Structure 1
């Protein structure tokens, strides 16, 4: 293989470098989405963290995955360049997946060590993603000279096709090997094989980029793309580098600290995990402080400032989209697992695989959408990017509205057909194609050259805020019908307790708290009363696991109680409200069932879409000719 770069890029079609980036991103998304398909179930069932805590962790993990691109973008722009950051990020992510494989190997014999390895693995994936993600997206925009920028919407839609080819393969193959059930019982030891397959995919993508980048990822005149920007790369009229004064950096840090603490007061509550109480506020505060810092640059012109404000406005509304869309990996997976008949053409699909319909539909519709935008552009009827994104929000609201009508009044033990998940993912995919690739293209078109990777990081920060909402909203999933049935088997009338028709004993509350089903658990207050609830819950779970291993199906959670706490401690749980039964609430509204849960997303995304659409005339002026 020669390293001699190609000297010319055809005027028609797309440069070959796009297909190298397409392939690299495809394998990285295989890795990420394959792992994502298994993560919530792995946390909830193998590591015994429960659905609510798993949703919180899932949201925090995804939020940080889209916060660290700010760091990766800055280091790329300042020191390493796009190419080196992609290679570094891909390698670190592959190592993170191998660590998840080891966590999946250790959980049965040493649960605490498995949890520790899991945290290290997620940290590795988070930072690897931060180096990889903004830089490969930024390089797509760099492939096209100024006179070919009109091709960017089409290019990013094709690039998005690569993302979803990989995501779909990952969401199918990783669950096939990692989410294995026999006679309706999940084999928890299989999760590790899904993580191993994800690791292999990541290393394939990294090696592909390593060997092909010098030949194909180049400018039309043959110069390598992805180094630190040079003065010759800066379009006329733009400053070469950002100029942040010391006082503005200090103010930005102060804003981040103050906003983190202020939002902590909003997110914190009795029993709130550190992820929700501190990490979520930090992610939002980072976006606020970075937004100030970029606009404080003294070299920014009025046109640049207006365009950056457009990106900020879009990022705000994008949070609502991703907060609803990414339920696919948490609450929608749990609903597919608990309340959905996943049989399709006589074959029972793994619940973690249901979300793969999104990727399948992206592959089916990405090119038609790309053709549609080009067709509309030639006829001068193409709407500006924010209008397309408003359509995306309205489509995701419609998807939730349709499935909400199907679950309304669903009785205990009843299940919805998988067809309604297919309809939901079809509409969500159309919404995604109106919003996400268009957003990537918008950053490439609006961002000043010196802020290219950093503002791509800001775009992903909007995603990070959305994933925080994913965790917050996903944790509001009400008890599913199977939970009422399982609690009845334990002698707990969950519905009666939640409706205030039955008084729960301390033992009843403890049983509900073990699975975090329909209750708020105040761990801190428990420790103040010399009761370590987390330790007690873990001990009960371990006793149940031992009974399961010896195939003692008659052994129940209630039978573990005398082994973990005393009679007086159970009484304290009740009198001190250490475990408090309650339906989830959002802004004072109780969410009693899955219908209420789905309607929450209908309202949030529907309103966001309407407001964004109303703002588009103003935003069009602020874009100064960019569409």
Structure 2
């Protein structure tokens, strides 16, 4: 069921998008705030070895992208999106506060993973339900939503990280928990602006076998191919927190004055900050294009994004930045600017496309499989990052650039093949389902 929201709201979008934006912002504040402190906490407070801390951190972040697959199924089949968001957020907040006790590290991480599994696929699954099928604003809705993710990610290290380092790790973890509670309060008080869930009796008539109806197979095959390309793309994209971090440390001259050297972690604030600054410009442009029928297709946008991210890696490859010949810090800032511009064309657009294609009654499940691609990409990125120690930075980043360019070419080819399939606005409803729960938004 769609809600007839007023035309005028933030960025000209329905009020419900602002509620979802703020909820997601505080959830990401809590997640990234805790993540920024986790390795330091394990090695400095709990005295874990670096290897043990790395193993725990890697498993935790991987499971954070795997659990939404099961959480999305639970939301679609039994809980409904609203209850899944509230329950998931409450479990995550509980997990953050458990971090105040050294002996409860593993139960705390497990609680956050389980809560995240319910929360992550269901909140974005509600974005598409805010719009009618012919609403030109829906093409940019996920980019506005994506700002919330990155605004929370920008604030988290600055606030939770500073509190944790200055006043104690548990204070930083508590700040993350408070952020999650704020997000829950915003969601609950603003739920009147959000689309209602269908009755449980209607959700119960949608067995998972309904996804395998012949009418859905072309869509599911298309989404599987897109997800596969996203896994390959993230193999390069996720180097932002891995080998790029090493490059910033060893290959970039960060000396600003005789008395001040730019901390390498500051560069990572550029990515979410630029997302916040660039997104409104893209939203306005794409909305104007949609109104006159000239907005690029979703897969075309994604191909552009992959190519631009590839160019950012090519720039680093050309610069080199070996320890013996460091590059200036402005080049590093330029890398982040190009990288972020490309990111905005592919990741939020792909998320919106999956929401648009989701069969009615399976919105959260399909969104969860989008995040499963992130899980696979993150694992591959870690394995590929091990090549850093055996290759020069020029060769390594050239390979990352080539990987993104290959994904761009394959996305363009896929767009031409899938154009007839994507001509509709959403997947049809199963015959046994009422048209109430579908996510209908365009990339």
Task: Classify the TM-score, shorter chain.
Answer: 0.7 to 0.9
Q: Which residue of 2 aligns with 1:162?
A: 148
**Which of the numbers 261, 265, 271 marks the counterpart of 1:352?**
265
Q: Is the 8 A contact 1:37 1:352 kept in 2?
A: no
Q: Which residue of 2 aligns with 1:319?
A: 231
Counterparts of 2:291 and 2:173, CA distance in 1: 45
Q: Which residue of 2 aligns with 1:484?
A: none
Q: Is the 8 A contact 1:77 1:228 kept in 2?
A: no
Q: Which residue of 2 aligns with 1:268?
A: none
Q: Which residue of 2 aligns with 1:216?
A: 193
Counterparts of 1:407 and 1:100, CA distance in 2: 41
Q: Is the 8 A contact 1:56 1:471 kept in 2?
A: no
Counterparts of 2:77 and 2:221, CA distance in 1: 23
Q: Which residue of 2 aligns with 1:454?
A: 365
Q: Which residue of 1 aligns with 2:21?
A: 22
Q: Which residue of 1 aligns with 2:178?
A: 200
Q: Is the 8 A contact 2:26 2:179 kept in 1?
A: yes
- The DSSP-based 3-state class of the residue aligned with 2:380 is helix
1:204-237 per-residue CA deviation (whole Å, 9 max, x = no partner) reads 1112222222x3224xxxxxx2355665x9xxxx
Q: Is the 8 A contact 2:247 2:321 kept in 1?
A: no
Q: Which residue of 2 aligns with 1:88?
A: 87
**Which of the numbers 99, 104, 121 marks the counterpart of 2:108?**
121
Q: Kindly tell me: are residues 348 and 131 of structure 1, through their superposed partners in 2, closer, same or farther at Cα, counting changes over 3 Å?
A: farther
Q: Does 1:474 pair with 2:385?
A: yes
Q: Which residue of 2 aligns with 1:405?
A: 318
1:19-55 per-residue CA deviation (whole Å, 9 max, x = no partner) reads 11111111011112223334455556665543x7766
Q: Which residue of 2 aligns with 1:310?
A: 222
- 1:239-258 matches, within 5 Å, as 241-244=206-209
TM-score normalised by the chain length of structure 1? 0.61
Aligned length: 419
- The DSSP-based 3-state class of the residue aligned with 1:37 is helix
**Which of the numbers 389, 403, 413 marks the counterpart of 1:604?**
403
Q: Which residue of 2 aligns with 1:97?
A: 96
**Which of the numbers 406, 423, 445 marks the counterpart of 2:356?**
445
Instruction: Report the alpha carbon displacement of residue 87 of structure 1 after superposing the two structures with TM.
Output: 1.4
- The DSSP-based 3-state class of the residue aligned with 1:62 is helix
Counterparts of 1:416 and 1:471, CA distance in 2: 25
1:458-505 per-residue CA deviation (whole Å, 9 max, x = no partner) reads 111111111112322234432xxxxxxxxxxxxxxxxxxxxxxxxxxx
Instruction: Report the alpha carbon displacement of residue 194 of structure 1 after superposing the two structures with TM.
Output: 3.3
Q: Is the 8 A contact 1:73 1:134 kept in 2?
A: yes
Instruction: Report the alpha carbon displacement of residue 128 of structure 1 after superposing the two structures with TM.
Output: 1.3
Counterparts of 1:190 and 1:416, CA distance in 2: 35
**Which of the numbers 303, 307, 315 marks the counterpart of 1:394?**
307
Counterparts of 1:338 and 1:41, CA distance in 2: 21
Q: Is the 8 A contact 2:77 2:206 kept in 1?
A: no
Q: Which residue of 1 aligns with 2:415?
A: 616
Q: Kindly tell me: are residues 193 and 306 of structure 1, through their superposed partners in 2, closer, same or farther at Cα, counting changes over 3 Å?
A: same
TM-score normalised by the chain length of structure 2? 0.84
- The DSSP-based 3-state class of the residue aligned with 1:448 is coil
Counterparts of 1:83 and 1:338, CA distance in 2: 46
Counterparts of 1:342 and 1:349, CA distance in 2: 5
- 1:190-589 matches, within 5 Å, as 190-213=168-191, 215-218=192-195, 225-228=196-199, 231=202, 241-244=206-209, 297=212, 300-302=213-215, 304-343=216-255, 348-411=261-324, 415-478=326-389
Structure 1 residue runs without a partner (length 5+) = 1-6, 104-112, 181-188, 219-224, 234-238, 245-293, 479-590
Q: Is the 8 A contact 1:323 1:467 kept in 2?
A: yes
Structure 2 residue runs without a partner (length 5+) = 426-441
Counterparts of 1:320 and 1:54, CA distance in 2: 27
Counterparts of 1:8 and 1:350, CA distance in 2: 48
1:429-483 per-residue CA deviation (whole Å, 9 max, x = no partner) reads 11221112211221222111121111111111111111112322234432xxxxx
Q: Is the 8 A contact 1:24 1:205 kept in 2?
A: yes
Q: Which residue of 2 aligns with 1:63?
A: 62
Q: Kindly tell me: are residues 38 and 421 of structure 1, through their superposed partners in 2, closer, same or farther at Cα, counting changes over 3 Å?
A: farther
Counterparts of 1:31 and 1:432, CA distance in 2: 22
Q: Kindly tell me: are residues 198 and 158 of structure 1, through their superposed partners in 2, closer, same or farther at Cα, counting changes over 3 Å?
A: same
Q: Which residue of 1 aligns with 2:439?
A: none
Superposed CA RMSD in Å reads 2.9
Q: Kindly tell me: are residues 74 and 30 of structure 1, through their superposed partners in 2, closer, same or farther at Cα, counting changes over 3 Å?
A: same
Instruction: Report the alpha carbon displacement of residue 597 of structure 1 after superposing the two structures with TM.
Output: 3.1
Instruction: Report the alpha carbon displacement of residue 370 of structure 1 after superposing the two structures with TM.
Output: 1.1
Q: Is the 8 A contact 1:85 1:132 kept in 2?
A: yes
Q: Pick the structure with greater CA Rg.
A: 1
Q: Is the 8 A contact 1:153 1:437 kept in 2?
A: no
Q: Is the 8 A contact 1:24 1:209 kept in 2?
A: yes
Counterparts of 1:601 and 1:54, CA distance in 2: 27
Q: Which structure features the higher share of helix residues?
A: 2
Instruction: Report the alpha carbon displacement of residue 593 of structure 1 after superposing the two structures with TM.
Output: 3.5
Q: Which residue of 2 aligns with 1:568?
A: none
Counterparts of 1:20 and 1:473, CA distance in 2: 38
1:272-327 per-residue CA deviation (whole Å, 9 max, x = no partner) reads xxxxxxxxxxxxxxxxxxxxxx75x3xx243x322222221111111123232233
